[in-house]
Amino acid sequence: MIAISLIQLAFPLFFILAKEQVIETGKEYLFRVQPVDPYDFFQGRYVTLNVQPLFYQTSNWKEFKQHDIVYAEFRQDSIGAEIKALSHKKTKYSLKIKLYSDPENPVYVKLPFRRFYLEETKALSIENRLLTDRKHMNFVHVKILKGDFVITDISSNGKSLITGKQVHSPVLSI
C-alpha cells in the first residue's frame, strides 16, 4: 500500500521536475500569435494560441513522411522564431513535433502549443489587450529543451501581458 502511494506521488513530481528543468535550462523562442480566449468548464479559462504557421524549405523533403515525429530546431529572427532544421534526431534545443500533411517543399509544421492556462481574470484581460492592440507584434514565449517545451509568457510590444514588466526579447534586441 505504501509502495503504491509512493508511485502515485512520484509520477506528478517527476512531471513537475521535468518542466522545471525546461524552464531553468531551456532556450527561449518567441512565436507570433493571434489569441482567442475561450472557456473550458472543467479546466477554466485559457488563452488559445493561434500560432502563425511555420514552413521549412529543404532539399531532402522525401526523408519525411506524413505523421512522422520529428525534431525542429529554431532560430530567432526579427519577427519571431523560424525553423532552422528538421531532423529525426533529438538535440538539446529541439522541439518534438508531428508532421500532419505529406511533406512538400516547403514542409508545413504544426506546433504543439495551443493553450496557455491563466487565472480567470488575467486570461480575459490578456485577450482584450491583444484584440485591441493588433498593431504591435504579439508573442508567446516558449522555452525548449530536449524535445519538450514550457510556455513562460505572452508579450505585446516588448511588455509582458502577465506581469506588466518589460521583457528581454531577442526580437527587440536585433
Q: Where are the domains of the chain?
A: 2-160
Region 11-32: mean pLDDT is 85
Q: Please give the C-alpha separations between residue 169 and each of 50, 78, 109, 130, in angstroms, as whole numbers.
A: 20, 10, 24, 18
Angle at 148 between CA 142 and CA 152, to 5 degrees: 25
Q: Please give the C-alpha separations between residue 96 and each of 52, 84, 174, in angstroms, as whole numbers.
A: 18, 14, 27
pTM value surpassing 0.85: no
Mean pLDDT of the chain: 81
67-115 pLDDT per residue, tens: 889 999 999 987 889 999 989 999 999 999 988 766 666 777 778 888 8
Categorize the per-residue pLDDT at 18 as very low, low, confident or very high, splitting at 50, 70 and 90.
confident
Region 12-26: mean pLDDT is 86
**Which helix (H) or strand (E) element contains residue 29?**
strand 27-32
Structure-model confidence comparison of residues 168 and 149, the more confident one: 149
Categorize the per-residue pLDDT at 121 as very low, low, confident or very high, splitting at 50, 70 and 90.
confident
What is residue 172's predicted lDDT score, i.e. its pLDDT? 46
Comparing 108-117, 124-133, 134-143, which segment has the lowest mean pLDDT? 124-133
